[in-house]
Amino acid sequence: MGKKSLITKILFAAVSMASLGCAESMATGADRPKLVVGIVVDQMRWDYLYRYYELYGEGGFKRLMDEGYNCENTMINYVPTVTAVGHASIFTGSVPSIHGIAGNDFMQDGKMAYCCEDTTVHSVGGTSAAGRMSPRNMLATTIGDELKIATDFKAKVIGVSLKDRASILPAGHSADGAYWIDYSTGTFITSSYYMQSLPEWVSAFNKKYGGRSEKEISYSSYGNMITAEMAKAAVEGEALGQDAVTDMLTVSFSCTDKVGHKYATHGNEIRDIFVDLDKRLADMFTYLDRKVGKGQYLVFLTADHGAANNILMLQKHGIPAGGFVADKTAEALNAYLEQKFGARQKLVACISNYKVFLDRKAIRSLSLNIDDVKESAVEWLKQNPAYAYVVDLEHANDAPIPSAIRERIINGYHRLRSGDIQIILNPANYEVASEVIDGGTTHGVWNPYDSHIPFILMGWNVSPGKTNAKTTINDIAATVCAMIHIQMPNGCIGNAIDF
């Protein structure tokens, strides 16, 4: 072998080794935190940061606000503002029109389907149907998926929540695991989408904490506790944040939503569940300081949606408010359309998420024109003074409505899943089960009480501060991805905040 040839081979080997070293450095997360923790508080209105401020301790919400960067004007830019859509939008940086999660339930193949329903998989850790879930209905990637890709799939990504959709959708398609409660046993389960048997650390956790009823778990501080403890167990069991590769943990606290629905926004119960959550957060941050290292993890906290003030409370104080009974509206609309078109079958499949879903199969079988049916339905609905706007979703861009509402309608419209007509109610009007209004509340509309959410970053490379600049729910993923130097999710429409 000639000297020149030998030198060439040595140089080539050196360059190759250097390239491999560079690739490995990039894959293991150079200039990234050890762990990213995404926390979602279900049904947390932005103003809860301040309403209960004096009751919070120093290590939870106050620590976030004191040490973190607080985006005070973060808004949801779509309808409906519900749990599945919120969790998908936070972690994809996208909207239903793109990521496809158009509601907790939406139309799929001509029938209403649950957002995470997947009949091709089975429960792992239980025998009920509660584990027949996966992220397959979500059409976009998440922060966790992009972290996986950026690290050549070396990163670990785990999702934890009491609710399946609040665990599955944030963790994404390529997650190592997502865990949620099977209320028939009171234990955490998962799906064969992820694995064939529970890890030992999950089984051990279930032996320690399992067996409580749904009421005990969902409507008390116990649910907050086991969510936080399960998150800590995931850090221990999966050794998250313990090597050179950045990992991700998503945690969603669901009890706040359950309590909010039952007791509304101003009861002692909602106050108590948030004060308890504050303690859980403080404990979790202290644990992460010790286990991962203070300043070595990046945490962000936000919410999937807010909540309306109770109708009766508002009316008592002279504030206009009212209820919308979807089933009765659908029944009356059906009667009108059947009479108008001489139909002997229902032309409205249902009203869900303030959207009218027409029965297109029935309309075709009667040789009716879908546009004629929609036009008649819109005109009939407009007679109700409680409906501020009634919009044909295929022509939303032409509707004479405020641009902010139009944007939310368009962003929330997936043409294959979102129905045909959008109903926009007057402020402080929301869906109720019947004309007998109770002391609870709900969410789902465009108004600030449902769409103004917290967004705070704390930890790795975050200096204290705050902004009142306009921020959207989509900016969360864009910001986190920019901070940790990975590509934003493939459906992301957000912008990284400048701080």
**Catalytic site positions:** 83
Q: How far apart are CA 95 and CA 172, in angstroms?
A: 15
Which DSSP state fits 252? Answer: E
Q: How far apart are CA 252 and CA 224, in angstroms?
A: 10
Q: How far apart are CA 269 and CA 257, in angstroms?
A: 11
Q: How far apart are CA 176 and CA 465, in angstroms?
A: 34
Q: How far apart are CA 93 and CA 85, in angstroms?
A: 11
Q: How far apart are CA 114 and CA 371, in angstroms?
A: 28
Q: Are strands 421-425 and 429-431 parallel, antiparallel or unpaired?
A: unpaired
Residue indicated by tokens 């509309």: 445
Structure tokens at 421: 């007509």
For 245, 358, 372, 401, the CA distances from 29, given in Å and listed in that order, are: 5, 49, 57, 47
Structure tokens at 477: 């993923």
Q: How far apart are CA 298 and CA 36, in angstroms?
A: 5
Residue indicated by tokens 């209905």: 137
Structure tokens at 21: 């070293």
- Give one DSSP letter per residue of 297-332, joined into a string: EEEEEE-S---PPPHHHHHHTT---EEE-HHHHHHH
How many degrees, rounded to 5, is the angle at CA 108 between CA 106 and CA 110? 110
Q: Which has the closest alpha carbon to 251: 225, 221, 212?
A: 225
Q: In one letter, which amino acid is 244?
A: A
**Exposure on the CB side of residue 280, measured as CA atoms within 13 A:** 26
H or E segment to which residue 112 belongs: strand 111-114
For 32, 169, 171, 390, 481, the CA distances from 241, given in Å and listed in that order, are: 11, 21, 16, 49, 17
Q: How far apart are CA 346 and CA 337, in angstroms?
A: 8
